[in-house]
Amino acid sequence: MTEGRTEVEDLKRNFVLALRKNTKRPSSSTISMNVINFLRKIILVEKVKTIAELLASLHNHAKFLSAVEPTELIIINIVLMTSKLARDELNKKNGNGNIRAYDSLFTLCKPSEPTDMKDTDMKKIKKDLIESIRELTIEIDSCRESISAQSSDLIFNQDVVMVYQLETSKTLYSFLAKTREANRKYRVFNVIPESKNEELNDFTSSIRLHDVASKICETTKVFLTCIAVFPDGSCLVPAGGQSIALMAKRHSVPVYVLAPFYKITPFFIPDPNALNISQRTNMPFEFSAKSAGNVEILQPAFDLLDSQYIFQFVSNSSCIIPAHINRLKEDYYHPEDIALY
Amino acid sequence: MSESSKKNPADNLKEAFQKLSNEVKQLGMVLGVKEGEQGQVSQPEPPKNEFAKDMTQEEKQKQRAAKAAEKKARAEAAAAKKAGGAAAPQQNQQKAKEPAPKKEQVAKPAKEQNQPKSQQQQQSAKPKEEKIPKSALKSTKNQSNGAPNREVQFDLQSNTTNVLRTSESEEVVVTPDPPIVPLEDAQSLANIHPAFLTLYSRCDKELIFDLEQLCQEFIRSFKLFLSGFASHSEPSTFSKEFDQAIRPQLTYLTHGGRWPLPYALGNIVRQLKREVLKLDSTSPISQQIEDIHQWLEDAESVNFEDAYRGIFASIEPKLAKTKCVLTYDWCPVVNHVLLESVEKRPDLRVCFVDPELNGRAVKHVNSFVDKGYKCQYTDLKSVGYAIKQCSMIVLGCSAILSNGCVATTKGSIQIALTAKAYNVPVLVVSQYFKFVDKVQSYTRMALLGRENIELLPSTLVTAIVTDIRILAPTAAPAVLKAKALDLD
Amino acid sequence: MAPDPKKPAKEKPLTAIVLLDSFDQRFAPILEKSYECFGFIPLANIPMINYTMNWLLRTEIESVMLVATGKSQKYAKLVENEWGSAFEEFSVVICDGSSSLGDCLREIHNRELITDNFLLISNPSSLTSSTLSQQIRDFRKRRVENADNVMTLIYGGCENREKSVIGVNSDGKLVLYPAATSSGLIKVDKVDFYQNAQIRRDVVNTGIALCSRLIVTQFNDNFDFSTMEDVIRELLSKDDILGLNIHVDVLPQNESAYMAKDYDTLLHLNTLLLERWFYPLTPERVEVSRFISVCPRNIYLEEEDFLNTSMSSRIVLSDASVNVSLGIHTKISKTARIYNSSIGSNSEIAENTTISNCIIGKNVKIGKNVEIFGGFIGDNSVILDNSKFPEIIIGNGVKMAEIGENLENSAICSWQVDEDEFEKIVAQKIGEELYLWQLRNGGGFWKISQGKIGINMSNVEENEEEDEDFEEGSDEDFDVDFDDGFDDSTRQFYDEVFESMKGMQSMANQQMNNLILEINSSKLACNVSVDDVAKNVFAAFLALPGMEDLKELLVLIKKWRPLFINYYKSSDSNATARKLEMERKCQIQMLMAIEEKFDKESANFGPKCAKIVHFLYNDADVLDEEAILEWAGSIDSGSKLRELMEPIVKWLQEDDEDEEEEED
């Protein structure tokens, strides 16, 4: 069955199949964990002699994955993070561990390319790399808790909070739940899209998207989830988030966006529309008998939210204003990786 | 002692019943004798006026009996409904049905005259219910002065009604515990023209899709009402009489004045009333009726078909250069405009937005697909994406307020805000009759009850397209003045 | 049911049987010398079998059996390579020489490969967005409740394009199914309505069926069954005997499912797929080794390589184009308008062309100002400038300009059909290297319900009117095997009876009982009604060899009297009125058979008619006068037969009068 395919290719295939097998998109943290594990396996299996080769193969995988799943920016992010970790290992090896890649003022001359290393070091490098990857894994795992921990700083008594699609995000849910634990009394408006009439929780009241205009007058804060954050502070939010943010801006209500660090994308997407894939149309199937071919039903997955509408990003370390995202990306990514991409 | 006192009321009661049954029997005999004269009585409709003038005592009695029978029928029905815990709409529906049979009864009072005999004998044991209709009658008597058709008979019977009433009231000892409320409705509904009853129940059942349809149906109902209107006053007082006649109808439609009529409809009604007041009091009644009729016809064509054409003519040059147009929710004006544009320019792309998928805008989609045009369809949450590719937004409205605010469907603010963020012009199409001299909205309207109206601030609207020209939203007061739509 | 700790917590997941081929010969023009395997016809430029495998991944199924014919063996291997690792068990079954689903299943039965319930996908183009978990659960529950619930058909909740209907009762049991020739029309009786049969036409068959082992044995038992529909009809018609139930499960409105049976539905399926109705089953997520990027307006661009994701910047399609899938290296002009189509790699489309609802193969060159509104164009074809086509099917390598002829119901290929292999197709040459292929029986190529078979609004009863419907000629010469209004089963019955009689005739000792037994068993097997039996028995009799000679005929009638008595006359003198009524009907049918024969061979048979009737009445005492009179009265007055029958009629009537006089 695997004639002509190497183990690495097999791994790649299985990873992609596993990703595509799901009917519903799993949560972002699950995806990132899967990616990390996949990368760990690849690194273990990949037979490379130098770091350069390792990096090249990682980038190859990044390109492959992004071609295969262009909408999942997290995948690329994680691969790039791994690549940074690899470069860090290299720098440590070279004794340049303390030089930050971005401090170009201090270092006039620094090695711009990873030098060739001897074979025996590869094993150690790999071992260390796997170790750093493990730390990364732990960090991803604990993202949700760290974000939720900040909720008590943000939501106070008598607050009226508006959230969008609470049921799709575990992070958002635990964020709100944490505040309840702290015994803060506040109200939550949950904007739900289609006619899902269930009252999911006892502490939220559900409203529809077209009711937002009338309810925004009473709202004090808006919390949104995001899909990816770009270096200029703009972000991709689930479709519909933009109109909520626009209303909030009109009524001067602050908009907070929950963004775990692995969603911070170090590069710009030239045309987010090209990325914006339709999901399933939610029309009943019988509509297709008449409409197929004649009616184009638009169901984009994302909305691009400009940075001017966002008050703060709530990340796992702290709250960040949009202007600082650019600087923050340096913590996780290496400039050369971004340039290559 | 107690026994005697007990007996006394009982005896009194028995006497009362005895007397009543005697009188009823007499009445019956009277009716029975008068069966030969059915011929005359059975044509009430055409010789209405003659009928009014040539009343003989017997005929008056006959009519009395007829109306009593009707009242009993209604009372019975009302009591039954009350027993069954009837809700108002049920009543309305039943009442809606009842005016129809009642009309028939008018045409054949002969039949009724046989009925009251049996009915009265049945109901001789229920004097209380007889009383109530009559007392209710008295109270609504004032209301029903100008009411159409049969009601006219009641007016003229008022004297005799009183006579009958007073004669019987002395004997009645037991004062009942009447179900006044449903009966009153039953009574008052009797005045309402069936066309309005139908209109009301249709709105209740949400068979009326939008404001345009409502206005058109209202005009049609009014025409029916007009054609069935019977007047017997002087030409000079006709307009006042007619005005009085309209009032209960409108009161009914607005639930007794509890909720205002939708704006645009209120405009039409106000203009109508003005027309009625302006009627030439010297011309004969039929001429005046004809005038009102003509005005209604004009209103129907000016406000709808002609207006659609005018609006399309105004907006066409703007649409000619547009690549893609977006619209929100259903509006027949917008539908007309877009269909015409697509016929002239098949490469115009049209996008329909619904608050939620499979909502009212599907009507737009169906109208396009049936004609073989392609279109796009999406819901409110995708509007950011949709507007990015559009170059113009066209919205329908239910009213334009005097401060330039536009009353539209809920969710339009988000469309307008997103449009502003992407610099896409927002045009609102509206006929002249939708301009209202108000500045606030109400949470609930009569007839179109849903709280589905949102006020779009004038700063978010680029222009309003009317039948004659395109104007800025702040020009609304000028329009009000020009079209004499303002309140004064 | 409380979970039994001893029982396994989870039921063994179903096995899936997927057929790779389609045995419908209407796809021959595009399969032959081109794709060669139905499962590899591209939908949105990806072979359709990949979609099937992809959605199977999402169900609970872990073991897949791919069934292919010998010709498609190498394609089956390809599928195994690609998808084998995704399932726990993946096996390929090659059924050499099978020409139908039935053959394949019989093969499987012989090899004893199926031991349990299974999911049958009889058409590789069955696609669905559902995971079928609820449906499989319900199926298992039904199986447990009643072992006779053998099959559940999955239907999608959308109106089907052939406008066919089925009848379902409130339990979901299938009670009415269209007959073979009636293209979706069903015969409904009052009884069905009493039993709450709901007639549904808002559903579409998806070709997915959850079956029990018994279905395979059904195929095994009867060698005539070739498609799933045969089994369905059989089970329905033998409901009282076999007592097996078929259920119908209609998917909810938020799930989509569809299947392609002919070109029309194939293109519709293509459009649905491009519009993402089957999400998460979408073209770009199906094959792991292909890279497809999706642009706004549902435009799918295939990249050659994941390193060069710059396709989106090179291709500029006109604004109007929507729902398009482009292969690699395609060259599309900016002014061309493409709607709902897939265009294969290396194809070129020139200026100002409108392409709507098409599947275009590789290396196709389409000229300027062409308008195609629905078509299937094979690889390496050329369409010349300024042509306009409504629905067409063009095979490989065809160079095509607009031809004036009516192309409905046909396909155009550049080679002559191999008539042995594809016996249902005929071809005629219409130009240089151009052949027009049509289905022999005039059925619809494009749409199953087009063509002669199927637009038959009258009920499928054996009336003579049906013969007229089918006389709209095609140019083809029909063999004796015409389908001229006879229901398949009636035809079968007739043939069988004829055979039996012939056999009997040749025997020395002609035992009528045996013949009667044989005829009866044929009747049960073919499920024909009593009227049909009556007519066809006599018709077969008249058709026997040696019947031309009147004397022989009469002798044989006498000899075979018991046979006729059995069918046309009751020996019981105490027969009830109803039974007499039945008899009369049978006798009338017999006379109808005579009439039919007369219509066919009036010259020969005419003079014998009257004599035969006379003989049957008088000497053989098989017919009664009421029957004869009624029948004679019903003959067309212009017909010669009437004249011939006149004397008999008169004689009979005189006879009556005589008898009456006698009775007086």
Measured between beta carbons, the chain B residues lying within 8 angstroms of C339 are 374
B residues 365-384 lying closer than 8 A (beta carbon) to C:
374
For chain B, say whether A243 makes contact (Cβ under 8 Å).
yes
Measured between beta carbons, the chain C residues lying within 8 angstroms of B323 are 319
pLDDT tens digits along B33-80: 554 444 444 444 444 444 444 455 666 667 676 676 677 767 666 666
How many whole angstroms separate alpha carbon B326 and alpha carbon C623?
Answer: 79
Query: What mean pLDDT is predicted for residues B109-114?
Result: 44
Do residue B374 and residue A295 have CB atoms under 8 angstroms apart?
yes
Residues of chain A with CATH 1.20.120: 2-141
pLDDT surpassing 70 at residue A197: no
How many whole angstroms separate alpha carbon B446 and alpha carbon B432?
Answer: 21
Measured between beta carbons, the chain C residues lying within 8 angstroms of A296 are 275, 297-298, 322-323
With CA atoms as reference, the chain C residue closest to A284 would be: C253
Question: Does the ipTM exceed 0.90?
Answer: no
Among C294, C318, C319, which would you mutate to test the B interface (most chain B Cβ atoms within 10 Å of its Cβ)? C319
How many whole angstroms separate alpha carbon B211 and alpha carbon B407?
Answer: 12
pLDDT band at B136; cut points 50, 70, 90:
very low
pLDDT, residue C642, reads 72
Which has the minimum average pLDDT: A193-207, A208-222, B90-104, C109-123?
B90-104
| Structural contact between residues B421 and B378, judged by C-beta atoms closer than 8 angstroms | no
Query: C242: distance to nearest CA of chain B, Å?
Result: 45
pLDDT band at B487; cut points 50, 70, 90:
low
pLDDT tens digits along B413-435: 999 999 999 999 999 999 888 88
Structure tokens at B304: 């709808």
- Superfamily name and number for B308-487: Translation initiation factor eif-2b; domain 2 (3.40.50.10470)
pLDDT surpassing 50 at residue B200: yes
pLDDT surpassing 70 at residue B129: no
Which helix (H) or strand (E) segment is B479 a member of? helix B476-482
Burial, B39: exposed, middle or buried (Cβ in 10 Å; 0-12, 13-18, 19+)? Answer: exposed
Do residue A288 and residue C58 have CB atoms under 8 angstroms apart?
no
Which has the minimum average pLDDT: A49-58, A203-212, C448-457, C488-497?
C448-457
Average pLDDT, chain C: 78
CA B189 vs. chain centroid, Å, equals: 12
Query: A275: distance to nearest CA of chain C, Å?
Result: 7
- Nearest-by-Cβ selection for A280 from C253, C276, C340: C276
> Which of C132, C119, C102, C125 lies closest to C65, judged by CA?
C119
pLDDT, residue B147, reads 41
Cβ atoms within 10 A of the Cβ of C332, count? 22
Among B349, B382, B387, which would you mutate to test the C interface (most chain C Cβ atoms within 10 Å of its Cβ)? B349
Strand partners, C436: C412, C428
How many whole angstroms separate alpha carbon C499 and alpha carbon C521?
Answer: 13
> Does the residue C466 lie in any domain?
no
pLDDT band at B241; cut points 50, 70, 90:
confident
Do residue C319 and residue B349 have CB atoms under 8 angstroms apart?
yes
How many whole angstroms separate alpha carbon C368 and alpha carbon A27?
Answer: 49
pLDDT, residue A247, reads 94
Which one of 1.10.1420, 1.20.120, 3.30.70, 1.20.1530 gives the CATH number of domain A2-141?
A: 1.20.120
pLDDT surpassing 80 at residue B231: no
pLDDT tens digits along B286-325: 888 888 888 888 888 888 888 899 999 999 998 988 899 9
pLDDT surpassing 70 at residue B156: no
With CA atoms as reference, the chain C residue closest to A68 would be: C291
pLDDT, residue A110, reads 54
Residues in chain B: 488
Query: What mean pLDDT is predicted for residues C83-89?
Result: 87
How many whole angstroms separate alpha carbon B132 and alpha carbon B127?
Answer: 9
How many whole angstroms separate alpha carbon A197 and alpha carbon B217?
Answer: 34
C residues 303-322 lying closer than 8 A (beta carbon) to A:
303, 306-307, 309, 312, 322
pLDDT, residue B185, reads 57
> Which of B316, B456, B470 lies closest to B479, judged by CA?
B470
Query: B349: distance to nearest CA of chain C, Å?
Result: 8
Enumerate neighbours of C (3 or more CB pairs within 8 A).
Answer: A, B
Measured between beta carbons, the chain B residues lying within 8 angstroms of C296 are 389
pLDDT band at B163; cut points 50, 70, 90:
very low
| Structural contact between residues B420 and B245, judged by C-beta atoms closer than 8 angstroms | no
Among A10, A12, A13, A20, which would you mutate to test the C interface (most chain C Cβ atoms within 10 Å of its Cβ)? A20
Query: C74: distance to nearest CA of chain A, Å?
Result: 14
pLDDT band at B91; cut points 50, 70, 90:
very low
How many whole angstroms separate alpha carbon B95 and alpha carbon B193?
Answer: 11
pLDDT tens digits along A203-247: 788 888 888 988 999 999 999 999 999 999 999 999 889 999 999
How many whole angstroms separate alpha carbon C346 and alpha carbon C364?
Answer: 7
For chain C, say whether B323 makes contact (Cβ under 8 Å).
yes
* Cβ contacts from B onto C, under 8 A: 8
How many whole angstroms separate alpha carbon B99 and alpha carbon A56?
Answer: 88
Same domain, C315 and C208: no
Q: Is the peptide bond before B317 cis (omega within 30 degrees of 0)?
A: no
Do residue C320 and residue B323 have CB atoms under 8 angstroms apart?
no
Q: Does B145 or C351 have the greater pLDDT score?
A: C351
Which helix (H) or strand (E) segment is B350 a member of? strand B349-354
Do residue A285 and residue C158 have CB atoms under 8 angstroms apart?
yes
With CA atoms as reference, the chain C residue closest to B389 would be: C296
CA angle, A82 then A88 then A92, to 5°: 150
Assign 3-state DSSP to chain C and report helix, strand, coil percentages, each to 5: 40, 20, 40
pLDDT band at B341; cut points 50, 70, 90:
very high
pLDDT band at A119; cut points 50, 70, 90:
low
Same domain, C434 and C562: no
pLDDT, residue B186, reads 58
Among C53, C92, C164, C275, which would you mutate to test the A interface (most chain A Cβ atoms within 10 Å of its Cβ)? C275
| Structural contact between residues B480 and B437, judged by C-beta atoms closer than 8 angstroms | yes
Burial, A3: exposed, middle or buried (Cβ in 10 Å; 0-12, 13-18, 19+)? Answer: exposed
- Please give the single-letter amino acid code of residue B367: S
Do residue C280 and residue A20 have CB atoms under 8 angstroms apart?
yes
Domain layout of chain B by residue ranges: 194-302, 308-487
How many whole angstroms separate alpha carbon B19 and alpha carbon B38?
Answer: 28
Q: What is the CATH number of the domain that holds C346?
A: 2.160.10.10
Q: What is the largest CA-CA distance in chain C?
A: 109
Query: B115: distance to nearest CA of chain A, Å?
Result: 54
* Distant-in-sequence, close-in-space partners of B140: CB < 8 Å, separation ≥ 6: B184, B187, B188, B191
Which has the minimum average pLDDT: A114-118, B217-221, B323-327, C562-566?
A114-118
C residues 202-231 lying closer than 8 A (beta carbon) to A:
202
Q: At what angle do helices B285-300 and B211-227 cross, to 10 degrees?
A: 160
For chain B, say whether A303 makes contact (Cβ under 8 Å).
yes
Average pLDDT, chain B: 73
Q: What is the CATH number of the domain that holds C132?
A: 3.90.550.10
> Does the residue C571 lie in any domain?
yes
pLDDT band at A97; cut points 50, 70, 90:
low
For chain B, say whether A138 makes contact (Cβ under 8 Å).
no
For chain A, say whether B356 makes contact (Cβ under 8 Å).
yes
Helix (H, G, I), strand (E, B) or coil at A299: coil
Helix (H, G, I), strand (E, B) or coil at A204: strand
Residues of chain A with CATH 3.40.50.10470: 147-330
Do residue A242 and residue B418 have CB atoms under 8 angstroms apart?
yes
- Nearest-by-Cβ selection for A213 from B375, B418, B454: B454
Q: What are phi and psi of A121, to 5 degrees?
A: -70, -25
Which has the minimum average pLDDT: A187-191, B136-140, B262-266, C106-110?
B136-140
How many whole angstroms separate alpha carbon C205 and alpha carbon C434?
Answer: 35
Which helix (H) or strand (E) segment is C150 a member of? strand C149-156
Do residue B347 and residue C320 have CB atoms under 8 angstroms apart?
yes
pLDDT, residue B465, reads 94
- Please give the single-letter amino acid code of residue C216: V
For chain A, say whether B410 makes contact (Cβ under 8 Å).
yes
- Nearest-by-Cβ selection for B384 from A210, A243, A299: A243
How many whole angstroms separate alpha carbon C297 and alpha carbon B231?
Answer: 65
For chain B, say whether A213 makes contact (Cβ under 8 Å).
yes
pLDDT, residue C603, reads 66
* Domain membership of residue C418 as a residue range: 263-439
pLDDT surpassing 50 at residue B22: yes
Helix (H, G, I), strand (E, B) or coil at B429: strand
Residues in chain A: 341
Do residue A286 and residue C294 have CB atoms under 8 angstroms apart?
no
Do residue A243 and residue B388 have CB atoms under 8 angstroms apart?
no
Which has the minimum average pLDDT: A281-290, B396-405, C552-561?
C552-561
pLDDT, residue A20, reads 84
Range list of H helices, chain A:
7-21, 28-45, 51-68, 73-93, 119-141, 143-149, 151-154, 170-181, 212-215, 241-250, 272-275, 287-291, 325-332, 335-340
- Please give the single-letter amino acid code of residue C629: L
Query: What mean pLDDT is predicted for residues C406-430?
Result: 74
- Nearest-by-Cβ selection for A210 from B369, B410, B421: B410
- Distance of CA B104 to CAs B44, B183, C323, Å? 11, 21, 62
| Structural contact between residues B203 and B245, judged by C-beta atoms closer than 8 angstroms | no
- Please give the single-letter amino acid code of residue A10: D
Structure-token match 């005045």, residue found: B191
Measured between beta carbons, the chain C residues lying within 8 angstroms of B345 are none
Which helix (H) or strand (E) segment is C219 a member of? helix C213-221
Among A222, A298, A299, which would you mutate to test the B interface (most chain B Cβ atoms within 10 Å of its Cβ)? A298
| Structural contact between residues C564 and C583, judged by C-beta atoms closer than 8 angstroms | no
Query: What mean pLDDT is predicted for residues C414-422?
Result: 74
> Does the residue C483 lie in any domain?
no
Measured between beta carbons, the chain A residues lying within 8 angstroms of C159 are 286, 289
What's the half-sphere exposure (Cβ side, CA atoms, 13 Å) at A103? 9
Do residue A10 and residue C297 have CB atoms under 8 angstroms apart?
no
pLDDT band at B333; cut points 50, 70, 90:
very high
Considering its fold, how many domains does chain C have in total? 3
| Structural contact between residues A332 and A81, judged by C-beta atoms closer than 8 angstroms | yes
Query: C455: distance to nearest CA of chain B, Å?
Result: 25
Measured between beta carbons, the chain C residues lying within 8 angstroms of B389 are 296
Q: At what angle do helices B194-204 and B88-97 cross, to 10 degrees?
A: 140
- Please give the single-letter amino acid code of residue B397: C
How many whole angstroms separate alpha carbon B268 and alpha carbon B246?
Answer: 13
Same domain, C140 and C283: no
Q: Does C161 or C270 have the greater pLDDT score?
A: C270
**What percentage of chain C reaches a pLDDT higher than 90?**
9
pLDDT surpassing 80 at residue A86: yes
* Distant-in-sequence, close-in-space partners of C127: CB < 8 Å, separation ≥ 6: C48, C51, C52, C55, C257, C258, C259, C269, C273, C278, C281
| Structural contact between residues C162 and C447, judged by C-beta atoms closer than 8 angstroms | yes
Same domain, C431 and C499: no
Which has the minimum average pLDDT: B248-252, C254-258, C369-373, C490-494?
C490-494
Which one of 3.40.50.10470, 3.90.550.10, 3.30.420.40, 3.40.50.300 gives the CATH number of domain A147-330?
A: 3.40.50.10470
Burial, C479: exposed, middle or buried (Cβ in 10 Å; 0-12, 13-18, 19+)? Answer: exposed
pLDDT, residue B370, reads 92
pLDDT, residue B166, reads 42
Do residue C57 and residue A273 have CB atoms under 8 angstroms apart?
no
Q: Does B110 or A305 have the greater pLDDT score?
A: A305
Structure tokens at A248: 């909030």
Q: What is the largest CA-CA distance in chain A?
A: 68
> Which of A5, A64, A75, A43 lies closest to C288, judged by CA?
A64
Same domain, C499 and C373: no
Q: What are phi and psi of B55, to 5 degrees?
A: -75, 130
Measured between beta carbons, the chain C residues lying within 8 angstroms of A3 are 81
Structure-token match 């070279």, residue found: A94
